[in-house]
Amino acid sequence: MLNLENLSKSFRGGSFGSGAVPAVRQVSFSIAPGEVTSLIGESGSGKSTIGKMILRLLPVSSGRITFDGVDVASLEGSALKEYYRKVQGVFQDPFSSFNPVFRADRIFRMLEREYFGDLGAREWSAKLHTSLEAVGLNPADVLGKFAHELSGGQLQRLLVARALLLDIEILVADEVISMLDASTRVDVLNLLAGLKERGLGVLFITHDLSLGHYISEHTVILRRGVVLEIGETAKVFGNPQHSYTKMLLASVPRLHSHWEPLEPGEPARTGPRDAPRGRGRRARGQPLEPVPLLVEVEPGHLVAFEDGGTATAGDER
């Protein structure tokens, strides 16, 4: 069980750390084994930052992440290595995940060297093949090749296979299929969904609501580093409460229905992020809006309190 408690992250803006730009603010949720949790947000929402903090690729500014009760920030050396045995990640750009200078197998080599030094060559090879087959890859097709000789789908599978070599309990999947071709992305998606049947907890980070809805048990809606709605996926999608969630759902293009005509004055035209931008501008300009309180509108469904109107429980339709 991986818990995020009031997790916050600020990036240093400008030189000498003067001026901090908040990226994630007081985020709390947990990733349970055997479930997929979707973390949904638009660009700049801080969703990838959360993933990187879980993977200890970025330090936490305040709050904490615990894994089986232990504060992840305190892990160093061999303890951190043991954490990585249990918690692993797959990233957005499959080509960036592979060192272009080396063959794609290097991702396995590193694990072999660091974790399986005492394993015989034959045992290792058997383990590797099992893992590759588990993600639907034929070892002969992918081993010994360079990343640019393989397709994006194959590469993402290789990365999942790499994680499966370890005894992982949590997998952080950061936009893993957004760069894949339509015809192959659903296969990788199904692969991730299948992991929960092995008892793994998956954090599925995405900007695409349809993917989140397809795959996950729990959904977290994030905007500008703040959680706006969180709960069981069926409830969040079936009975969205926050105006932002509703706007997202109304805006997502669908295959079998058209966008509802825009109501006059609806914010979609100017868009929520259309404020002129500039790094650090928000931080030094107006004061930050406070992190809203989460209100439970129905069992297992929490919504951020809005000024415009209190979230109401019950089905609107």
Partner 1 sequence: MSKDTTTTKDDTAAPTEEGNTAPRHELVYFALRNRKLVIGLSIVGLLGLAAIVAPFSARSNPDAFVGPPMQPPSSSYLLGTTYFGQDVYSQLVNGLRQSFLVGIMGGGIAFVVATAVGFTAGYRGGAVDEVLNMLTNVLLVIPTLALLIIVGGYLKGTSIVFEAMFVGATAWPWAARAIRAQTLSLVSRDFVGLARLSGVRSWRIVVGEVAPNMSSYLFLTFILLFGNAILISASYDFLGFGPPGGVSLGSMMNLAFAWNALQLHIWWWFVPPGVAIMGIVGGLYVTNVGLDEVFNPKLRSL
Partner 2 sequence: MRRYFARKLLTYFLTFFVAVTLDWGIPRLMPGDPIAGLLSKFQLQPSSYAVLHSSYTRAFNLGEPLWRQYLDFWRALLHGSLGTSIYAYPDPVTTVIRHAVVFTLALLLPATVLSYLAGNKVGAIAARRKLLDDTVLPFSYVLTATPYQWLALLLAFVLASVAHVFPISGGFSYSLVPTLSWAFLWSLLTHWFLPFVTLFLVGFGGWAIGMRNLIIYELDADYAHFLESLGAPRRLVRKYAYKNARLPQLTGLALSLGTIVGGAVVTEIVFNYPGIGWLVLQAINSEDFFLLQGIFLFIIVGVLLANFVVDVVYVLVDPRTRIGLQEGTR
Partner 3 sequence: MSLDVQNLVVAYRTLRGDVRAVDDVSFSVADGEIMGLAGESGCGKSTLGNSLVRLDRTMRCLGGRALLDGTELPLSDWDAMDDFRFKKVSLVPQYSMSALNPTRRIGKMISEVVRSRKIRYKDVLPELERRLRLVGLPTDVLAKYPIELSGGMKQRVVMVLTTLLDPSLLVADEVTSALDVSTQRAVGGMLVELRDMGIVTSTIVITHDLSVLVQVADSVVVMYAGKLVERAPTATVVDAPRHPYTKLLIASLPEVGVRYAEHVLAGIPGHPPSLLDPPKGCRFADRCPLASAECAVEPPLVELESGHFVACWKAS
Task: Provide the binding-site residues for partner 3, judged by CB under 8 A.
Answer: 42-43, 151, 153, 181-187, 189-190, 193, 207, 209-211, 213-215, 237, 247-249, 251-256, 258-259, 262, 267-278
Kindly tell me which residue out of 107, 135, 137, 302 binds partner 1, with binding defined by CB under 8 A: 107
SS3 of 50-100: the string is HHHHHCCCCCCCEEEEEECCEEHHHCCHHHHHHHHHHEEEECCCCCCCCCC
14 scored as a contact of partner 2 (CB under 8 A)? yes
Asked if residue 248 lies in contact with residue 209, where contact means CB atoms within 8 angstroms, the answer is yes
Instruction: Say which entry of partner 3, partner 1, partner 2, none residue 149 contacts (CB below 5 to 8 A, set by partner kind).
Output: partner 1
Kindly tell me which residue out of 284, 288, 310, 313 binds partner 2, with binding defined by CB under 8 A: 284
End-to-end CA distance of the chain: 36
Kindly tell me which residue out of 34, 44, 194, 280 binds partner 2, with binding defined by CB under 8 A: 280
Helix (H, G, I), strand (E, B) or coil at 143: coil
Q: What type of residue sits at position 287?
A: P
Residues 31-60 that bind partner 1 (CB under 8 A): 52, 55-57
Q: Going residue by residue from 165 to 204, which x/- string records binding to partner 1, judged by CB under 8 A?
A: ----------------------------------------
State CA 148 to chain mean position distance.
25
6 scored as a contact of partner 1 (CB under 8 A)? no
Q: Is 13 or 34 the residue whose CB approaches partner 2 more closely?
A: 13
Shortest Å distance, C-beta 51 to partner 1: 10
DSSP label at 259?
A: P
Which stretch of DSSP H or E encloses residue 298?
strand 294-298
278 scored as a contact of partner 2 (CB under 8 A)? yes
Kindly tell me which residue out of 285, 288, 289, 296 binds partner 2, with binding defined by CB under 8 A: 285
Shortest Å distance, C-beta 256 to partner 1: 27
Shortest Å distance, C-beta 95 to partner 1: 6
Report the number of secondary-structure helices (H) and strands (E) in the chain.
11, 12
Helix (H, G, I), strand (E, B) or coil at 285: coil
DSSP label at 32?
A: -
**Cα–Cα dist 54/52, whole Å:** 5
Letter string b/e over residues 242-255, b meaning 16 or more CB atoms within 10 A of that residue's CB: bbbbebbeeeeeee
Shortest Å distance, C-beta 283 to partner 3: 17
Instruction: Name the one range near partner 1 by CB under 8 A: 62-70, 148-156, 207-215, 254-262.
Output: 148-156
Instruction: Name the one range near partner 2 by CB under 8 A: 81-89, 123-131, 168-176, 276-284.
Output: 276-284
11 scored as a contact of partner 2 (CB under 8 A)? no
Residues 73-92 that bind partner 1 (CB under 8 A): 80-81, 84, 88-89, 91-92
**Cα–Cα dist 247/243, whole Å:** 6
11 scored as a contact of partner 1 (CB under 8 A)? no
290 scored as a contact of partner 2 (CB under 8 A)? no
111 scored as a contact of partner 1 (CB under 8 A)? yes
Could you give phi then psi for residue 16, rounded to 5 degrees? 55, 25
Exposed / middle / buried, residue 116 (Cβ in 10 Å: 0-12, 13-18, 19+): middle
Could you give phi then psi for residue 90, rounded to 5 degrees? -130, 140
Catalog residues that contact partner 1 under the rule CB under 8 A. 15-16, 52, 55-57, 80-81, 84, 88-89, 91-93, 95-102, 107, 110-111, 114-115, 145-151, 159
